Amino acid sequence: MKKGKRPLGKILMILLIAFFYLPILYMIVFSFNEGRSLTGFTGFSLRWYKRMLESGTMTEALYTTFSVALIATCISTVVGTISAIGLSKSKKVIRTLMEQVDNLPMMNPEIVTAIGFMLLFITFRVDKGYLTMLLAHIAFCIPYVILSVMPKIRSLDPNVADAAMDLGATPWQAMTKVIIPQITPGIVAGALIAFTMSVDDFIISYFAAGGGVKNLSMVVYTMSKRVNPSINAASTLMVVIITVVLILVNVIPAIAAKRKASDEVKKRKVFLPAAAVIAAVVILLLFRPGADGGKRPYEGQTLHIYTWGEYTGENIIGNFEEETGARVILETFDSNEQMYIKVANGESFDILVPSDYMIQRLIGEGYLQKLDPSAMDGLDNLTDAVKNLPYDPGNEYSVPYFWGTVGIIYDKTKVDLEDLEQEGFNIFLDEKYRGDIYLYNSERDSFMMALKALGYSMNTEDPDEIQEAYDWLVRCVQTMDPEIVTDEIIDNMAQGRKALGLIYSGDATYVMSENENMGYYLPETGTNLWSDAMVIPANAENPQLAQEFINYACEYDGAYDNSSFVGYTSANEEVMEVLSGEGGDFEGIDAYLPRTDNDMDEVFEYNEATRKVISNLWSRVLIAFSNAD
């Protein structure tokens, strides 16, 4: 009976190991992929490791991750160990109470702890940055150390410390020479857990940090918004470092334990801490961001930029810092509304990169300052199609950054072009493609699609037209079995996983460059002609440097670096022509060049009352989608 069960147990064990480790192996393999795809291997290359090491953001994140983890581990291990020893000598009532308090942070949802730290720092007006992240990590690591050390303390003879002091030891000697050596396994386990928790943390770091300080988890989260294989390279490096640490901690003591001579044991006791310290120093020195020398125009000044994730080129920030001597702190947001909340709450940035309708709102509410025309020479480099748009006539407040359209990405082998031409956005109601479509999880873009399919303006304020658009979307989610996604559509369509979907032109450009079977279609009934632009907030601390960067981003080199890397259409006319022309990165990809000859295309206008109505209706669409499933 037992023998018959063993093969099944082994199979289950193998499956369990495969479940945990195959994704890691998959990630490691794709870290050496030549192409940008995260799912299709096109050839061996070290380009993403090279890009990762050349990225100032990535090296700073690695430095922050490991320096915070090492410091937090050391402090939390000392504090947690002393606390555990102290609790073991306390009265039972106090000990029980403190153990419950210690367990609370571990049982709490991490988001609750994160928000608690954020509110604490805001209440006491502590500027968020490296120090606040470190304090938060120390605080949440201490309970894990206490939890690891307490069982070892309970296993000790309660009289051992008294016996040591009876033999002449001081209380300090009794603790360091008698108690701690016996509970060392628990201390080491607690330290390893603290180190792992700190390195791995995202949620608490996200809410506790600020001022451009990011650990690797935060950078990877930002990168995941768009296809960036450097994620695989960075994650693989993390796996290697953690593996080396585990080998040092486990293999070396096992080898040393076989040595019986007392002098070898003493050497081991000295060697392990020394090895750990040396490894820590090497890691910190290896990834410590270097400092530039030489006096430059803005030496010592800092520029705070708040923009979309993965919305800048590989070299523009580093090149600007090298040329000006300024330090650039780049923070990212996921939506215009997230950015607005921070600006409205008085957080200071020097440059924002919001979308058209949000710029209109920020201007109307007095959150932006006018640009200095005498200092803004970058506008001369831009195409006329992105100047003097309705949200900012005369470009008094904004300078275009990227622009484009929202259209339909489709698989030419699955979708008839004739269907697209006849139906436009109504193809998302064509049951021929049921279960084979992506919808974009955006109230603004989804209602634009529905309104344009019905022949209405996407800026309509008519309640009846908005209600019709809502009914159109409900019909779509209830009858077409769509998948509602955001940036996942990029790699999914590059792999041809569905027939069609709603997509931004810049993302369509990448998809088409990866898969020749993909096409991009703009319905004749019109679409959203969008523009993201650089603006300077009214409370900017360094507007002069901000204008310097805006000019730099408008010039050929900066604009080319941005557009060629991100894939969105540059506002710089020369860059746009070079990238879309013969031999350019996006030659033959019509998604890269926005349509400018259709009078039905519109720019979004901000209307608070209409926005609230549409936001509420979109929530009901998602409920209808959930019920349909």
**Residue given tokens 């081991």 in the structure block:** 268
Q: Is 376 exposed, middle or buried (0-12, 13-18, 19+ CB in 10 A)?
A: middle
Q: What is the pLDDT of residue 38?
A: 64
Q: 456-461: which pairs have CB atoms within 8 A and are 24 or more residues apart?
A: 457/602, 458/526, 458/528, 458/602, 458/604, 459/602, 459/604, 459/605, 459/607, 460/610, 461/607, 461/609, 461/610
The whole-angstrom separation of Cα 47 and Cα 373 is 41
* 140 token code pair: 């949440």
Instruction: Please determine, for residue 288, whether its predicted confidence score (pLDDT) is greater than 80.
Output: no
Question: What would the two tokens of residue 514 be?
Answer: 């990866």
For 445-458, write each residue's pLDDT tens digit. 999 999 999 999 99
Percent of the chain at pLDDT above 70?
Answer: 90
> Is pLDDT at 276 greater than 70 in this prediction?
no
- CA angle (616 as vertex; 612, 619 as ends), nearest 5: 140
Higher pLDDT, 235 or 534: 534
How far is residue 389's CA from residue 597's CA, in Å, rounded to a whole number? Answer: 15
Q: Is the pLDDT of residue 268 over 90?
A: no
15: helix, strand or coil: helix
Q: What is the pLDDT of residue 246?
A: 72
Average confidence (pLDDT) over 422-446 = 96
Fill in the amino acid letter for 276. Answer: A
Mean pLDDT, residues 53-57 taken together: 69
For the ranges 71-85, 274-288, 504-518, 564-578, the lowest mean pLDDT is seen at 274-288
Helix (H, G, I), strand (E, B) or coil at 584: coil
Looking at residue 629, its pLDDT comes to 64
d(C-alpha 315, C-alpha 361), whole Å: 32
pLDDT digits (tens, 9 = 90+) for 480-516: 999 999 888 998 999 899 999 999 999 999 999 989 9
Q: Where does the pLDDT of residue 270 fall: very low under 50, low under 70, confident under 90, or very high at 90 and above?
A: very low
Where does the pLDDT of residue 265 fall: very low under 50, low under 70, confident under 90, or very high at 90 and above? very low
d(CA 557, CA 378): 12
Q: How far is CA 157 from CA 80, 83, 88, 154, 178, in A?
A: 20, 18, 12, 8, 11
Range ranked top by mean pLDDT from 27-31, 259-263, 290-294, 399-403:
399-403
Assess whether pLDDT exceeds 90 at residue 103. no
Q: Span 275-282, mean pLDDT?
A: 50
Tell whether the model's pLDDT for residue 1 goes beyond 70: no
Residue 125's CB is within 10 A of a number of other CB atoms, namely 6
Instruction: Write out the H or E segment, with its range, that includes residue 274.
Output: helix 262-287
The CA-CA-CA angle for residues 292, 297, 299, to 5°, reads: 40
Spatial separation of the C-alpha atoms in residues 104 and 84, rounded to whole Å: 16
**Mean pLDDT for the stretch of residues 193-214:** 88
**Which residues on adjacent β-strands are paired with residue 530?**
404
Question: Mind listing the pLDDT tens digit for each residue in 120-131?
Answer: 888 888 888 899
Element (H, E) at 484: strand 483-485
Across residues 570-589, what is the average pLDDT?
Answer: 95
> SS3 of 352, please?
strand
Predicted pLDDT of residue 226: 61
Report residue 227's pLDDT band, with 50, 70 and 90 as the boundaries. Answer: low
Q: Could you tell me the pLDDT band of residue 274, with boundaries at 50, 70 and 90?
A: very low
Q: Is 267's pLDDT higher than 70?
A: no
Which of 84-88, 296-300, 549-553 has the largest mean confidence? 549-553
Cα–Cα distance for residue pair 413/606, rounded to 1 Å = 39
pTM above 0.85, yes or no: no
Max avg pLDDT among 61-75, 150-164, 275-289: 61-75
pLDDT in the model for residue 521? 98
Instruction: Return the sign of the alpha-carbon dihedral for residues 284, 287, 292, 297.
Output: negative
Neighbouring CB atoms inside 10 A of 553's CB total 27
Residues 311-339 have a mean pLDDT of 90
Residues 157 and 179: their CA atoms lie apart, in Å, by 10
Q: What is the mean pLDDT of residues 351-363?
A: 97
210-219 mean pLDDT: 83
pLDDT band at 291 (very low <50, low <70, confident <90, very high): very low
pLDDT of residue 258: 67
Tens digit of each residue's pLDDT (9 = 90 or more) over 176-186: 888 888 999 99
Mean pLDDT of 313-339: 90
